[in-house]
Amino acid sequence: MSFTVPYSGVSNKLGEAEIAAVVDALRSDTLAMGPRGAEFERRFADRIGAKHVQATSSCTTALFLAAQLLGLGPGDEVITTPQTFWVTTWPLQARGCGIRFADIDPNSLTLDPATIEPLITERTRSIWVVHHGGQATDMDPIMALARKYGLSVVEDCAHVPGGTYRGRALGTIGDLGCFSFHSLKNMTTGEGGALSTNSDRYAEMARALGTIHTWGDTVPRRDEHIGPYPQPAYYRDAHVRSSYTLDYRDGRYLVGNNYRMSELSAALGIAQLARLDELNDRRRAIAARLDDGLRGVPGIGLQVEKPYAHHIYHLYTIFYDPAVVGAPKDDFLRHLQEVEGIEIVLRYFPIHLLPEFRAAGHTYGECPVAERTYFEHQVQLPIYPHLTDAQIDHLIGAVRRGVAALSGEGSPR
């Protein structure tokens, strides 16, 4: 089907600056572990005001790294949101953690802090928040709970590069932040991500564990020989690492993985980072036009920008009221897609109802606000900086026509 307003496979159209940056990287003498990765890390750290940033191959690998840095494992419990892409929880499942789902605010679709404290037990170790759709979670009460109970906080920032909470960059408020630069995100490296932290220890651990090294407490070796062989005075083999000089205390250590970002991705990221404000401002302008065009339509509610947040509209969400319109949400979505040619992708099915979580004992009714909002009300319209004025007008008209048709009112005013 050809769509008048398709769901774009790229978050923004790349220009000559991005093309030149990647071509320049292709002409360099390395495509891995080169200067561009380090430069991207420095620039992104400066942009968000984080002490440390480590570029990764995806947000998923950044989340896996975060779970390892925090030492989460079997018997530990983590509280998170059901309104997210399931990958937020994969590192926790992989490490055998128990996951408890707090409920959400029905408008921002972020965690409702009031639903978190009742879930805290003696086994709770961490709270993982998701800044949904480009808008910040209300972090102050969550950080207060974390301090009260001695919990770590991880920010899933996949939707919010450039987003803020009370003037502070997201990804710098909790213990660790995890960003995505996937093709669909507000800025892109194709695939890619980053881990941010203000902790020197976490940064040191992450650098080892994210770049194919091990980590643990070490002690000096009394005899700096391997069998009869001392460390060569002249030749140095990087693969030796500290084999001659250090041993792990009690033989205990953590094994890392390769989560590095490539030089090509980093080159693209540097160019995209220079455009981040421009791209986010365009999204905000589009959202404002959509809001103006849809405000007051019976049965359509708008998402409100919270006073503490700078919303950068990775997603544009409206709330359909079937009781007002007189038809279920599915009929409205069918009208938008099949009649109006608007490609609809909803974000997100409540993940506690996925088969893997049902197998772990989670059930319908556990998060009633998230469930009711998703099944009855929540709709995402396409949004990206290269939407044309005609496409924006079509989105507004399509929603109005859909409501009018389903409510039996005829043509919209």
Q: How many CB atoms lie within 10 A of CB 138?
A: 20
The Cα–Cα gap between 304 and 115 comes to 20
Query: Quick one: which of 253, 244, 238 has its CA closest to 33?
Result: 238
pLDDT computed for residue 265 by the predictor: 98
Q: What are phi and psi of 363, to 5 degrees?
A: -140, 160
Query: Exposure of 170 by Cβ count < 10 A (0-12 exposed, 13-18 middle, 19+ buried)?
Result: buried
Contacts of 56 (CB under 8 A, 6+ apart): 62, 65, 192, 193, 194, 195, 210, 259, 260, 261
Query: Quick one: which of 169, 210, 181, 189 has its CA closest to 51?
Result: 169
The Cα–Cα gap between 374 and 294 comes to 20
Which stretches within 254-321 are classed as H helix?
263-273, 276-294
For tokens 């995402």, name the residue. Answer: 380
Q: What sign does the dihedral 63-68-74-75 (CA atoms) show?
A: negative
As a whole number, the mean pLDDT across the chain is 96
Catalytic residue among 13, 51, 148, 185: 185
Q: Which tokens go with 141?
A: 């009460």
pLDDT computed for residue 413 by the predictor: 44
pLDDT computed for residue 412 by the predictor: 52
Angle, CA 399 vertex, CA 398 and CA 400 arms, to 5°: 90
Q: Which tokens go with 212?
A: 């194919």
Q: Which tokens go with 356?
A: 């893997």
pLDDT computed for residue 2 by the predictor: 87
185 has catalytic annotation: yes
Q: Which tokens go with 190?
A: 């194709």
- Along the 413 residues of the chain, how does pLDDT read in single tens digits? 689 999 998 989 999 999 999 999 999 999 999 999 999 999 999 999 999 999 999 999 999 999 999 999 999 999 999 999 999 999 999 999 999 999 999 999 999 999 999 999 999 999 999 999 999 999 999 999 999 999 999 999 999 999 999 999 999 999 999 999 999 999 999 999 999 999 999 999 999 999 999 999 999 999 999 999 999 988 888 899 999 999 999 989 999 999 999 999 999 999 999 999 999 999 999 999 999 999 999 999 999 999 999 999 999 999 999 999 999 999 999 999 999 999 999 999 999 999 999 999 999 999 999 999 999 999 999 999 999 999 999 999 999 999 999 998 755 54
Query: Exposure of 29 by Cβ count < 10 A (0-12 exposed, 13-18 middle, 19+ buried)?
Result: exposed
Q: What sign does the dihedral 261-384-298-339 (CA atoms) show?
A: negative
Which stretches within 13-152 are classed as H helix?
16-26, 35-48, 59-69, 90-94, 139-149
